Amino acid sequence: MVKTMDYTHLGRTGLTVSRLCLGTMNFGPQTDESTSYSIMDSAHEYGVNFFDTANGYGGSKGKGATETILGNYFAQGGGRREKTVLATKVYGDMDEWPNNGKLSALNIRRALDASLKRLQTDYIDLYQFHHVDRATPWDEIWQALETAVAQGKVLYVGSSNFAGWHIAKAQEAAARRNFTGLVSEQSIYNLLKREVELEVLPAAQDYGLGVIPWSPLHGGLLGGVLKKEVQGVRRLEGRAAETLAEHREQIEAYESFADELGHEPGQLALAWLLHQPAVTAPIIGPRTQEQLDTAVKAMEISLDESALTKLDEIFPGHKPAPEDYAW
């Protein structure tokens, strides 16, 4: 039996979110609609109240398809929308026509209304910039979001894939307008990919942003990939195979250490993130019910200092800049 879900505040806000966030990118292209409903219901049963999506998700089913699945799920009622802290994103081009992407005031207005329609809701809890827009001034972006907040369409604003200085620039621009600005940053962060420790995490902590790591298993490389390879369950191709070849010795040591601790590698990778002070909630992206059940068990794992030190030895991280590379 998995213990009760833990909760925390999202950054400096009063918003309470579960320590695991349900990522929905696979809903549609990898997971059919009925299975997606079942996974979301199970997530609620486990106490996961934080769901993440994006307007561009949908893959082979077309952009917007994943939001549509979530909207159909919420439309079933039963308190499904009310139980959910709903996060979606804006930035990616939805088609080839001008102004249907990026962070212009025009696209933010149109994209937000389109997301609300697909999601069958009248507000987004956390509206995230999927990428920094270097061509649009922050005063324009913040004015658009101030309007959305005043209209009750957006409650909180977050970023994704920002550098530390992007976070600083955004927050200083918001402060000049007496606006809350960003409350979260969603970055790639896992044992293999730790560059955010240089400047993104320090900036997020200093400005009071919650950190929501995506790809916590680095595309499955931290999910017991070598064991699955031996069992013939999984064969990696392309970039993933190249990354495995580059880090094979580390991953062998990691899987051996997971065995020594008595944990599944994927659960250990999630548990490590949950022990990092800047992290609010890693994003888990299950394609199946079994993957959800497995991921949630990471909540049961407590790592002592010796285990954390050993993981740092296998996968060396970074000190905050500039100490990482200067005296």
pLDDT tens per residue across span 180-227: 999 999 999 999 999 999 999 999 999 999 999 999 999 999 999 998
Instruction: Indicate if 57 belongs to the active site.
Output: yes
Query: Tens digits of per-residue pLDDT, 298-319?
Result: 999 999 999 999 999 999 999 9
Q: What is the pLDDT of residue 263?
A: 97
Residue 248 one-letter amino acid:
R
Residue 2 per-residue DSSP state: P
Candidates 46, 57, 73, 189; catalytic one: 57
pTM of the shown model: 0.96
**Cα diameter, the chain:** 58
Query: Tens digits of per-residue pLDDT, 290-301?
Result: 999 999 999 999
- Tell me the pairing of strands 50-52 and 85-90: parallel
Beta strands, E only, 189-258: 210-214
Q: How many CB atoms lie within 10 A of CB 92?
A: 16
Query: Tens digits of per-residue pLDDT, 56-105?
Result: 999 999 999 999 999 999 999 999 999 999 999 999 999 999 999 999 99
Mean pLDDT over residues 281-295, rounded?
97
Distance between CA atoms of residues 22 and 285, nearest Å: 6
